[in-house]
Structure 1
Amino acid sequence: MLPWLLFVGGLIGLTASFVLTVERFALAQDPDYTPTCSINPVLSCGSVMSTPQAAVFGFPNPLLGIVGFAVVTATGAALLAGGRLRGWYWLGLQGGATSGAVFVHWLIGQSLYRIGALCPYCMVVWAVTVPIFWYVTLRNLHRLKPADRRLAAVTRYHSVPLACWFTALVALIAARFWPYWSTIGIAG
């Protein structure tokens, strides 16, 4: 399962990051450009792209996604082809997946509570980053402590934490933007 998750999740994240990069460059060339993912006041890539949070390290954040998801995709492809990766590689992948998960959660907080808008392509990145982090972490923990009963229980019910995470994220989004949803008839 992990090789397919890395390959498909990496491709999805890579595609979303690439599209975001193209949109960001188009917006940089023409300030009047409306990104394809700017749908309404809440789902608005343009609103998110024009903030300092969109270039935390001095360049557009999606460039990090292009690099990171290319590595994830290549890792999945190598595993699907029967490759065996060394421990140091898995530790590096864990570091990258953990950094990506931390960064994504910071961006979620910024989108919800500072910027007040959501970027649909960014949400796609969120949706693939967390499962990649979770399953890489489970794989690495299992390799460190294969006989740990608690880890075996977590592994058996591996999808529960992800379901809880997605449910919590949807609840946070619904609560944060409830006034908007209710005015357009979605909420009631």
Structure 2
Amino acid sequence: MIHPPARTPNAATAQHVQGAGASRGTGLVMLVAGTLGWLASFQLAVDDWRLLKDPSYQPPCNISPVVSCGSVMSSPEGSVFGFPNMLLGLGAFAAVAVLGAAVLAGTRLHRRLWLALAAGALAGVVFVHWLIVQSLYELNKICPYCAVVWVVTIALFWCVTLHCVNHGIFPVPHSLLVLLRDTHWMLLGAWYGVIALLVLTRFWPYWSSLT
């Protein structure tokens, strides 16, 4: 019987640098998060364009005095970088969805690409939390499509971070690695729970008036 040659440390290192495969779960999260984020960004872009053409236009997401997106889009927070925020989402989420589809197809992404994706997800999640604070405590509105972007951006950041930690792209102590593997669903649930609690308490008079 002919045995395959033993992998040398140099060969293993070269493969690690060349590319890192990901589980189907990781690829699926990337594809779903990218698709939902892109659809939400697209709808916001369409409504923003219609508002520019007709200031009296009422977007379908203007549901109530609290649940509304028209005033959010027209606010300075809606165009932080001098152009509508949703244009960033259209490009970023499209790239994420394509990479997710590639991972599902078995493509091994280069380590540098995972690092770039992790950096982009980190920037996105920081930006999203700034927008959450602005939405709750400055604009006093909840934009439904923006909320979709919040949810998928956090899920994407968490998924990509766990992948990078599990594959040694981000070196972490073994004890922390074990902790993340054992509790990552609970930590993500607690993260979403804190945001939901903030939304609930911030607009409690409105929510309680609906009952």
Q: Describe how 1:127-138 pairs up with structure 2 within 5 A.
A: 127-138=151-162
1:56 aligns with 2:80: yes
1:152 aligns with 2:178: yes
* Residues 121-168 of structure 1, C-alpha deviations (whole Å, 9 max, x = no match): 000010100010011011112222488132122112211111001111
State the aligned residue count.
185
Identity of paired residues, percent?
48
Equivalent position of 2:46 in the other structure: 22
**Distance in 2 between the 1:146 and 1:162 partners?**
19
TM-score for both structures, normalised by structure 2: 0.85
**Distance in 1 between the 2:172 and 2:141 partners?**
43
RMSD of aligned Cα (Å):
1.2
Structure 1: state its 5+ residue gaps. none
Equivalent position of 2:200 in the other structure: 174
TM-score for both structures, normalised by structure 1: 0.95
SS at match of 2:60: coil
**Distance in 1 between the 2:52 and 2:115 partners?**
37
* Residues 82-124 of structure 1, C-alpha deviations (whole Å, 9 max, x = no match): 1011111001001110010000000000000000001000000
**Distance in 2 between the 1:100 and 1:86 partners?**
21
Equivalent position of 1:43 in the other structure: 67
Which of 100, 106, 119 is 1:95 aligned to? 119
Equivalent position of 1:32 in the other structure: 56
SS at match of 1:157: helix
Deviates more, 1:139-148 or 1:155-164: 139-148
1:164 aligns with 2:164: no
**Distance in 1 between the 2:175 and 2:208 partners?**
46
SS at match of 1:84: coil
SS at match of 2:167: helix
Structure 2: state its 5+ residue gaps. 1-24
**Distance in 2 between the 1:178 and 1:150 partners?**
37
Which of 107, 110, 119 is 1:83 aligned to? 107
Q: How much has 1:62 moved relative to structure 2?
A: 0.5
**Distance in 2 between the 1:33 and 1:146 partners?**
51
Deviates more, 1:173-182 or 1:103-112: 173-182
Task: Rate the CA distance shift 1:146–1:52 in 2: closer, same or farther, 3 A.
Answer: closer
**Distance in 1 between the 2:54 and 2:156 partners?**
35
**Distance in 2 between the 1:146 and 1:113 partners?**
36
**Distance in 1 between the 2:199 and 2:42 partners?**
25
Q: Give 1 or 2 for the bigger CA radius of gyration.
A: 2
